[in-house]
Amino acid sequence: MSSPAAPACTDTSAPVLNDFGGGPFGIYVHVPFCATRCGYCDFNTYTAGELGTSASPQSWLDALRGELATAARKFAALPSTTPEVATVFVGGGTPSLLGGDGLAAVLDAVRAEFTLAAGAEVTTESNPESTSPEFFERIRAAGFTRVSLGMQSAAQHVLRVLDRTHTPGRAVAAAREARAAGFDHVNLDLIYGTPGERDADLDASLDAVLGAGVDHVSAYSLIVEDGTALARRVRRGELPAPDDDVLAARYERIDARLRAAGLGWYEVSNWAADEAAVCRHNLGYWDGGDWLGAGPGAHSHVGGVRWWNVKHPARYADRVGAGGLPAAGWEALGADERYLERVMLAVRLRSGLPLADLAPSATPAVDRVVTDGLAVRSEDDRLVLTDCGRLLADGVVRELLG
């Protein structure tokens, strides 16, 4: 496929937007603060010691308000009316370090510039150790509808390898506190394949998750990211690298347990009890929707234009204070880029990739992945991964893209 002419990517000017893409619109807010740095994490996060006096939660919040106001003005100049906000997701970092009042202030900042749709999904990530019953009650009263808790494992020695600071039982207790505060939708995150993790450790984690009564589970294989403390330990031989065969077996174990408990997969790494439990914000990403990413290092996508913010909180605040969007760079996606992303993301969904979205040249690849048992053609003409195909989803994507 040929790509239409598009503006060159630039690091010096604000993104040039044409219009909204027509789908649901979401807002992601990035909170860059963490109490400690986990050894496996390569997200754009900072501890108090790393920031010193260059930035604080208050200076970040002030800058966030400024960015939201600037974005709202920019969107108001587009041909289409700014859509109501269908989803808000506050991530990080550790949003719960802001406390209940701080998160309420974040949501107030969004509401001050944008209109939330009726029934909007409003999620915050939280680390179990920085939550309490009072915290959940405060954010529920503020308008949050969904909580995602980082559990990772119920095994203390696994948490130690990951440099997680909460005790094994705290995540489950936090999930129960969230439900008691009125949250119908609570997610627990798991990481599997950590060096030293045994089948029994994973089983204990799954027992804990299912015992917590949550309606959503995310499970990710451990990835050793370059530049992290974990990568350095693996490189020095202190820890073994995750084994692909072990990861596949663990994934199958997780899927079997969650399915038996009534949680079905809707994306390769995500399971939900029913349609209401699905994370609508993340579906917006996977379906190629529009979203504003606010905060240091956050990424945005509107109408085929993507931009990303400067990373350091102090520089972010300076750029917002100068009166513009704090973009470090931007690009207009051409037909080739849109096609690649559509295939990469839609293949991972239980709803599958519409065969009509594929180029005619991909037909032989579709035949191969179906013959190999990695996918099936659904009755509504979609390509849907099989159980085996989910283990090899990246390979299926490579096959389809040729």
pLDDT, one tens digit per residue, over 350-398 is 999 999 999 999 999 999 999 999 999 999 999 999 999 999 999 999 9
Q: At a CB cut-off of 8 Å and minimum separation 6, what does 123 contact?
A: 87, 88, 89, 90, 144, 145, 146, 147, 148, 279, 281
Q: At a CB cut-off of 8 Å and minimum separation 6, what does 203 contact?
A: 253, 257
Task: Report the C-alpha gap between 161 and 230 in whole angstroms.
Answer: 8
Q: At a CB cut-off of 8 Å and minimum separation 6, what does 372 contact?
A: none
The answer to whether residue 1 scores a pLDDT higher than 50 is no
| pLDDT value of position 190 | 97
**Predicted structure pTM score:** 0.94
- What does the pLDDT average to over 120-135? 97
Give me the chain's average pLDDT, please. 94
| pLDDT value of position 13 | 62
The answer to whether residue 106 scores a pLDDT higher than 90 is yes
The answer to whether residue 10 scores a pLDDT higher than 60 is no
The answer to whether residue 7 scores a pLDDT higher than 70 is no
CB 27 within 8 A of CB 292: yes
Picking from 160, 147, 395, the residue whose alpha carbon sits closest to that of residue 268 is 395
Confidence of residue 172 (pLDDT cuts 50, 70, 90): very high
The answer to whether residue 36 scores a pLDDT higher than 80 is yes
Confidence of residue 11 (pLDDT cuts 50, 70, 90): very low
Confidence of residue 56 (pLDDT cuts 50, 70, 90): very high
